[in-house]
Amino acid sequence: MVRSPIRSVRHLQRYREIIHVFVHHGFGELVDTLELLPYLSLPRRILRGDKPKPTPRGVPQRLRMALEDLGPTFIKLGQVLSTRPDILPMEYILELSKLQDAVPPVAWSAIRERIDTELGCPLEEVFTDFEPAPIAAASLSQVHAATLPNGDSVVVKVQRPNIQNVIETDLEILFDVARLAQERTPLGEIYDLPGIAEEFATTLRAELNFYREGRNADRFRENFAEEEYLHIPRVYWDYTTRRLLILERIHGIKIDDVETLDATGYDRHQIALNAARMIVQEVLQDGFFHADPHPGNFVVMPGEVIGAMDFGMVGYLNQQLRTDLMRLYVVAIQLDEEGIVDQLIRIGFTRGRVNRAKLQHDVGRLLRKYHGMPLGTIRAREVIEDVMPLAFRYNLKLPADLWLLGKTLTMMEGVGLKLDPDFDIFAVSRPYVRRFVWQLALPGVWGPPLIKGINNWTDLLANLPRVGSQALSRIERGEMEIKIQHKGLSKALDRLDQTANRLSLSILLAALIVGLALLIPTFNLAEQWGLATIVVITGFAGVSLLGLWLVFSIWRSGR
């Protein structure tokens, strides 16, 4: 009996919606490959009956449109995939980067009910003024302006009603599809698709927890407590819940509104410098960065102070990863292509067997492109776009936060260049790089790993005689066993077993049909039929029907 990959009957309607959308956008072959139709009681003609109209759009554009039609979970999935060039080719990355998370606002009555529920009282008891019309609306939440009794102007970020159930349903479906794709598509041989789905689910669920976003804001404020050029809004924890976030409202000019900045008399060069200092400190010093730095999340306040907003998406770089990146940066500056490949392998960015000579050749060709160019003329966007195809071609497994960092640097560089055409993020980073390199030489950095290594060697040497003696004794007594696990072998054996069963059944049915067919002429059908005649005729008809059923099942499976 074949086990259905669909875990919950209550999601069948959503499954059907998703299949219709993908088929409509020309992905019927993918649906057919995953073999979902039999489990959803859908006819195979659906793959032919809902074809999209002829269009010059390519596959990446049709994929983006399908994700947009499927709503918040799939829009977020596309946005996350747009930061993963190790999974998708460059043309898909560029197209999915266009996904916008802007939707019509929820009716005020539903939002009002959600706010009252979260506060535990009517909102009039907490706010002296509240704007029903939202100042921003996204797929997971929307934002309203309000005023507290003490006169503080705040923004109220409230989660959309029922969005949690919608997200969880879609995540369950994504897990099912990821498992099927792992088993039935070539991608499963290269990537851990259920693992990618799990990672995405963790990220999305974190965005639904406004306590976490509030803690992110507090952490940024602590990290930049000594810096006057950045303002992080205060969190009003007395009123904040998992689904309701109350923040200080900050006023300013949108950071990429160059005309208004010039009319107000702001120094655009200083603003660009402050933006660069912010991202460099986040990456090299704190290891904690704002991962959604589009212009709508930053405003310019008096004194060229940058005000930051929306802390739902952040990235993390631990000390070891920052150290590895710095070493990679050093060998890249030295144009040492062999050193770059060595560093990639040492860090563990390469998966499985990699053609080292070919990778080194492509890295060398990339380095020669930038040879002799002043750092100030090199653009982070161009470098990242050159690296992305290499990551996909050689299946380099870079941490998700690293790709998120690449997208962050690209967006911040775009803002900086719009503010100041001479913007040079490398010049801003030099003192931080120097400080980081000096820190690597301090005992506080290399001492703990060294002590840990010494302790591990001490334990190994102390246990080696005892463990070695036990191993030799077991070998001598014939008790030592070596187990070899073949990945994917059970799947191949199952298919082989199914094929053998089908072949055996085919031979048996053929023998029965031929045997019974030979027996029929021995009976005189013109006379009254006896029991033997009825048994033979009935048997012949039965096995013939079974044979037709077998032929139909083979044709339907496509094998």
Half-sphere exposure of 179 (CA within 13 A, CB side): 11
For 529: left if phi > 0, alpha if psi spans -120 to 50, otherwise beta; the answer is beta
**Catalytic residue chosen out of the listed positions 86, 170, 292, 420:** 292
Q: Write b or e for each residue in 387-410: b if 16 or more Cβ atoms lie within 10 A of its Cβ, otherwise e.
A: bbebbbebebbbbbbbbbbbbbbb
Helix, coil or strand: residue 193:
helix
- Concatenating the DSSP letter of every residue in 369-390 gives HHTT--GGG--HHHHHHHHHHH
Q: What does the alpha-carbon distance between residue 146 and residue 334 come to, in Å, rounded to a whole number?
A: 55
End-to-end CA distance of the chain: 18
- What the block records as the tokens of 261 is 């900045």
Q: Is 225 exposed, middle or buried (0-12, 13-18, 19+ CB in 10 A)?
A: exposed
Strands 305-308 and 230-231: parallel
Dump strand ranges (E) for 122-265: 129-130, 136-137, 141-147, 153-159, 230-231, 244-248, 253-254
Q: Is 121 exposed, middle or buried (0-12, 13-18, 19+ CB in 10 A)?
A: exposed
Amino acid at 203: T
User: For 241-376, where are the alpha helices, taking DSSP H only?
Assistant: 258-264, 268-280, 319-333, 337-347, 356-370
Helix, coil or strand: residue 244:
strand
Q: What does the alpha-carbon distance between residue 157 and residue 498 come to, in Å, rounded to a whole number?
A: 55
Q: Write b or e for each residue in 52-75: b if 16 or more Cβ atoms lie within 10 A of its Cβ, otherwise e.
A: eeeeeeeebbbbbbbbebbbbbbb
Q: What does the alpha-carbon distance between residue 552 and residue 310 come to, in Å, rounded to a whole number?
A: 57
292 catalytic residue (yes or no)? yes
Dump strand ranges (E) for 119-224: 129-130, 136-137, 141-147, 153-159
Q: What does the alpha-carbon distance between residue 101 and residue 247 come to, in Å, rounded to a whole number?
A: 21
Dmax of the chain from CA atoms? Answer: 113
- Residue 390 · residue 366 · CB < 8 Å: yes
Between CA 209 and CA 137, with CA 80 as vertex, the angle to 5 degrees is 55
- Residue 513 · residue 550 · CB < 8 Å: no
Nearest by Cα to 80 from 63, 97, 94, 65: 97
Which residues are catalytically annotated? Answer: 292
